Amino acid sequence: MQKISVAIIGWGNVGRGCKRAIEECSDLMLAGVVRRSTSLNKEEPDLENTRVVDDISKLGKVDVALLCIPSREVPERVKEYQSLGICTVDSFDEHDRIVALKKDCDINAKAKRVVSIVGAGWDPGTDSAVRAIMRIVSITGRTTTTFGGEEGGRSMGHTAAVKSIAGVKNAVSLTLANGRGKHKRRVYVELLPGYDEDKVTHAIKNDPYFKMDPTEVLVVRNINKFNTLHHEANIERTGMQVNQIYDVEGVNPEFTANVMVCCVRACITAKHADQYGAYTFIERPLVDYLPGATLDEKLADY
């Protein structure tokens, strides 16, 4: 069976996680990594034996591009790759804009006869799928999602948002549980020389990613001692006569990268069925994300 050819766009934590995840999947192969031209000559042991280019056209045939880039750049880049005839997967994480993103990318996907899976990280993404299942098991009830626990977990979207604010040299944004289903944020930032602590703090607190939640900003000299890749979520649904709990904890980029990489299969399955379009994670059948050459193999754990 011919392997699916995958490109990684962006070389941050998620991009690195995607490379590792692709290596775990015998049906996928890494065509290469696309980085900004300014990063091309950096030597990194993880990129030995990997093609690194500044333009995807230099990689030859690519079936699916994994957009491991900040959420805010996703909408434009999805359509750019679609227009090249390449399927895309992203982990766009702004819950209230995902349906609009899907609809926008859906039109272009159909025109270009490709498939995009949008908002396919863990939340939104697989956590959304768990919430859907919980609603099916218990039709009437209440679902809450609590992130980060008491220790806090690294939010990649929020961390990327802080890093894009003027004056920020480095940052990590933690999400902490603040009661069931409620959250607060704690942001550690290293400033660039000459920037004012109060102004940067104000900019962070008023960023769309933060302004809905209680947010504490702590300026530190060295981010490293506050940095973490850990995250966790707890989803609970209490129904009429049924209770359900889902807990996930571990290294955040690993969750996200694994989900994105499994979406590659769903893109190709949909494309082969001429079901061109843009889909959220729960709009494609779960079976399409699983490995296996035959339906029997894919359903072996059913």
Asked if residue 158 binds its own copies (CB under 8 A), the reply is no
Site for its own copies in 8-27 (CB under 8 A): 21, 24-25
DSSP 3-19: PEEEEEE--SHHHHHHH
List 136, 198, 212, 274, residue binding its own copies (CB under 8 A) = 136
Residue 139 interacts with its own copies (CB under 8 A): yes or no: yes
Q: Does 130 bind its own copies (CB under 8 A)?
A: yes
How would you classify residue 149: left for phi > 0, otherwise alpha for psi between -120 and 50, otherwise beta? left
**Identity of the residue, 148 or 170, whose beta carbon is nearer to its own copies in the bound complex:** 148
> How long, in residues, is the chain?
302
The site map against its own copies for 257-276 (x = CB under 8 A) is -xx-xx--------------
Distances 100 to 82, 97, 107, 265 between C-alpha atoms, Å: 17, 5, 11, 24
* Shortest separation between residue 16's beta carbon and its own copies, angstroms: 13
Contact status: 201 vs its own copies (CB under 8 A): no
Q: Does 29 bind its own copies (CB under 8 A)?
A: no
Give CA–CA dist 24/231, Å, rounded: 22
Report how far residue 189's alpha carbon sits from residue 218's, in angstroms, rounded to the nearest whole number. Answer: 6
Q: Which of 95, 180, 202, 211 binds its own copies (CB under 8 A)?
A: 95
Output the CA torsion sign for 13, 176, 208, 224.
Answer: negative
Size of the site for its own copies (CB under 8 A): 56
Say whether residue 99 binds its own copies (CB under 8 A): yes
Dihedral of CA atoms 17, 186, 212, 191 in degrees, nearest 10, equals -90
Q: Give the side-chain half-sphere CA count within 13 A for 37.
A: 2
Q: Which stretch binds its own copies (CB under 8 A): 172-180, 193-201, 205-213, 278-286?
A: 278-286
User: Are 140 and 256 in contact, with CB atoms under 8 Å apart?
Assistant: no
Which residues of this protein are in contact with its own copies, per CB under 8 A? 21, 24-25, 95, 98-99, 119, 122, 124, 126, 128-133, 135-140, 143, 239-251, 254-255, 258-259, 261-262, 280, 282-287, 289-290, 295-296, 299, 301-302
